[in-house]
Amino acid sequence: MTNASRLLLAACTAAGLFFAGGCRYLKQDMANQPKNLPLSPSDFFEDARSERPQVENTVARGSLADDALFVPKDSNAFPLPVNRELLERGQDRFKIFCTPCHGLQGDGNGMVAMRGMKHPPSFHQDRLRQALNGYFYDNITNGFGAMFGYSAQIPPRDRWAIIAYVRALQLSRNAKVADLPAELREKLNRAGSSGANEAGTAKDPAGGHH
């Protein structure tokens, strides 16, 4: 091997060592970062914990209940006056956001459920008839089970409108005639009398009419 070859070999070896060392430092910066994994020990803090306890009186980002119509999950309060306008708004929003799964009658037989997705529970079962208003508000806001939260799509007032309409659906399945206003009771009585009269016009065996 000539002197020139030896010098070339030495230069290549030195260059290789240099680049290898550089890659090692790059790997240190990119893949082997100095950090603490959750619950790993740390000698930086006096209690030797890298996971810091929550600071008193702080609220996690996105968890602040700052809307004026917020009601806790364990509350049965209803922060809006219930009137025809609110119920009609609730019916409109219910049809848009809720019927695909819950169905028009709130019985859990919406089109999405009928095509293979999980059936939600019926609003007419005793558990949900007795559930608090705050429970429904929390579920609409944050979701429950397979249901995603609708806080981004449905503003607080519309959530309460939907709850009012759900309560109306529940009442419609269990209302007594005595609970209805006088004009509705009279309407039902007229409909019943009309039905009885139509049944009475059936032909008798002799060919006449009753």
State the DSSP code for 119: P
Sole residue written with tokens 């997705």: 117
Q: What is the pLDDT of residue 1?
A: 62
- Using CA atoms in the order 56, 62, 65, 68, what is the torsion angle rounded to 10 degrees? 140
- Give the predicted TM-score (pTM) of the model: 0.61
pLDDT at 25 over 60: no
- Domains of the chain from N-terminus onward: 84-191 (1.10.760)
Question: How large is the average pLDDT for residues 38-58?
Answer: 84
The region of weakest confidence among 2-6, 123-127, 168-172 is 2-6
% pLDDT > 70, the chain: 75
Question: How large is the average pLDDT for residues 84-89?
Answer: 97
pLDDT at 22 over 50: yes
Query: If you average pLDDT over each of 50-54, 130-134, 185-189, which comes out highest?
Result: 130-134
Question: Which amino acid is residue 206, in one-letter code?
Answer: A
142 touches 151 (CB < 8 A): yes
